[in-house]
Structure 1
Amino acid sequence: MFDVLYIPYRDVYFWNDFGSAVRDLQFLEILNEIGEIDKITILNRPVSLYERLYNKNKPANRYPGNDVLDYTKYDIFGPLKKRKWTEYCYQKYVIKFIEDFIKDPSRQEKKLLIIDFTPIAKIPVVTNSRLFYWYDMIDNFAKHNCYSLDEIALVKEKYQHVANNYDFITAVSDAAAKEIKSAKGVENYVITNGVFNTRFKPDNFAKDENQDSRTYDLGFTGFVTDKFDVNFVSKLAQSYSIVIYGEVYNELTAKKLTQAGITLKGKFRYVDLPNILKTFKVGLLPYLAEKSHDGSPLKMYEYLKFNKPCLTSIDYEYASNYVYNYNDKIFTNKIVDDFIYCSGDERISSLLPEHAYLGMKIKSFFHTMIMVKD
């Protein structure tokens, strides 16, 4: 039997705002379904004093069914380093948790699985036959377009730390997996993103404000960053109605999209996705290929699960007649028209194979790789 110390990249603060919209929070839901895991404790990224005073004054210490550790770190100068501050900010909290676990007489028959998703933090490694470390590479941060050269250097140090010390390594794609070469002879396993069904309902969250009676031709759900293909989407908007659900992080990008006639709806919660996807017919995955970092698109599976064809700019691990790469093939409006026509056809989701479901992938990995250590 295992207990888990869960160290996500996006923690309970993010979950309170958006729900299980990202890989590490989807993993968390699935791990809660595994009978061989007794208790999960989530460790939020320690909150700086500045954050506690400014935008995190209320601790995010509740997640249904799990314990949450939420600490304030009173380091005055460290947070000025921004992402680089996270390199050692978890250290003392992880050490204390491990020491308490090892000393607890009620846990003597258990093993502790420490699951780490962080791109920079050097999680301390304690040698003990009851401790196991699992790193999941949710993205290849060594190629991340938003990271500085100094931050990328720290990412590479983190990957070496993982390679030297961790027992299990999983990655979101084949390309990402090649970034970490285990020094312990541990094989890197690829767990691509996939179809996911959240256990949470809209009642767990505030009332949805994104309801829209209009049905658009095309839509996008997710964060809009500088890798978003603004030119392609703006060109599409000359012929089709388009809606975007999600925060746009650049004011100039938001202005360009609005001027192109595209409707921006702002941030949303993951539990609202079924209703949101009713408001458009074709899903968009318009990312600039040169700014891609070896990912696997959650959104593609979300669109297909709800029987929405998908226009993408990159070939990913899943292919079907309902996924079209507008960069690799001749693209005309007829492609869009055909996709609009077949939108809602249940054959779209029925083609998704069993191994495209994220829950199956994670549970299979846990039982075939991790349980053998028990």
Structure 2
Amino acid sequence: MAFQSIENLWARSLCALQLCCMTFAVGGLLPAVAACGHVVEASPHSIAAGVNLAAPMGRLPEGVKPVGYTLALAVDPSKDYVTGTVKIDVQLDSPTALIWLHGQDLQVGEGYAVADNGKRHRLVYSQATEDGVARLDVTPALPPGQAALNLRFVAPYSTGLAGLYRVEASAVPYVFSQFEPLFARRAFPCFDEPRFKVPFQVSLSIPDGLTAVTNTQPVGERSTGNGYTTLIFAATNPLPTYLLAVAVGPFDLVTAEVPRNSLRAHPLPLRGVAVAGRGPQMQFAVGHTAVLLDALERYFLSPYPFDKLDVLAVPDFAASAMENAGAITFRDWLLLMAPQKASVAQKHAFQSVMAHELSHQWFGNWVTMAWWDDLW
């Protein structure tokens, strides 16, 4: 993630410092959920003797870890919220009646878990701390082994530029995401720490006529018959939650490819993504991104590790850029330019930030730190 100024760098450092001190569907159909986006007191029901009921400080406790997500979101930029379902496959080390995870300001209905033996277990979600530590009370306790946690939720769009948020360009609404470092929990229930690096299977239901972008390429779609289309995307490589990306709107797309080379056997799909009417200004960025990516592959002696690359010009964005795997977001002025009119300073800024974010595809995305004290 590149920053525009020392103030932004300081803000990010402060955020990481605060992290160490913290307590830690579809279409037009709004699921019936309980309003659980508030802090609640711990309740001892169905909790085994000896289990610590206090919300964890810093990192989540050992004993439960995710191994995969199936995430379905209905994203309509004209609404004030997204609806969704998530199935989190987990590995349990011991009998478990209390699971700590993350969720902030979400409305989550009663869910269920399915154990290895096929038995269903009741899940009751509640937010335990203001900064998004949440708990699942499990009845009866889950046995050791693998289980699937199933939850249905509503997430309001964030009012700031973090989580899933809306912006307008020429009075047209768009949705973008910014999940680093602690903001995926504002969009869906999850284990929101970089050490939990697992595959995501994502589907996005969007109004007909809009475009959706996430970390991988679409592999299927279906019409829901109510003015929405559901796009199904390829499973991601193992990723932490902070590298997931979502963008929805009436985008202009500039398509290209990075030619094959001695390290990569196939051309790499490359797109520039801009708000409606700004696509022609992406040509310079798309062309030079291909050159930079090829140079980095040769420098690292390693092929680009993901199945495609989108570079997105975001009209309102807190950082200079964010290295989401396969879907890098930028402040729009870094990508949108008329080559004959753009200043040398703007072209230099583009090249510097783009090289930084592309490098993150290897350092940070392919190889990821376990905690924020190893941030690169």
Q: TM-score, normalised by structure 2?
A: 0.27
Which structure has more strand as a fraction of its residues?
2
Name the TM-score, length of structure 1 as normaliser.
0.27
